[in-house]
């Protein structure tokens, strides 16, 4: 489930098509990055990319920690 979440954060094509239909109600981080780049707001786009990267790294590290066979050394 964690890996699916991390993968979904990077999904862009299908998300752009769905979000375009509900532009006033929904927005995802990947679409927000796209719109910030299109508007020339590079600082905002960079900040959003850092947020996405931090969340993905946290999720992947958590998945690795929770994986079967992960041994805790004491």
- Quote the pLDDT of residue 47: 95
Spacing of C-alpha 29 from chain mean position:
6
- Quote the pLDDT of residue 52: 85
Cβ pair 9, 55 in contact under 8 A: yes
Cβ pair 13, 30 in contact under 8 A: no
72 three-state secondary structure: coil
| Sequence-separated (6 or more) residues with CB below 8 Å from residue 27 | 19
pLDDT per residue of the chain (74 residues) written in tens, 0 to 9:
766 776 776 677 777 777 666 666 777 787 888 889 999 999 999 999 899 889 888 888 888 888 777 655 55
Delimit the domains of the chain by residue range: 2-66
Cβ pair 64, 70 in contact under 8 A: yes
């Amino acid at each position: 489930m964690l890996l699916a979440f991390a993968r979904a954060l990077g999904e862009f094509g299908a998300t752009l098509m769905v979000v375009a239909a509900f532009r006033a109600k929904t927005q995802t981080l990947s679409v927000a990055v796209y719109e910030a780049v299109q508007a020339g707001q590079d600082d905002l786009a960079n900040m959003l990319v850092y947020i996405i990267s931090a969340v993905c790294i946290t999720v992947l590290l958590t998945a690795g920690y929770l994986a079967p066979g992960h041994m805790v050394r004491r």
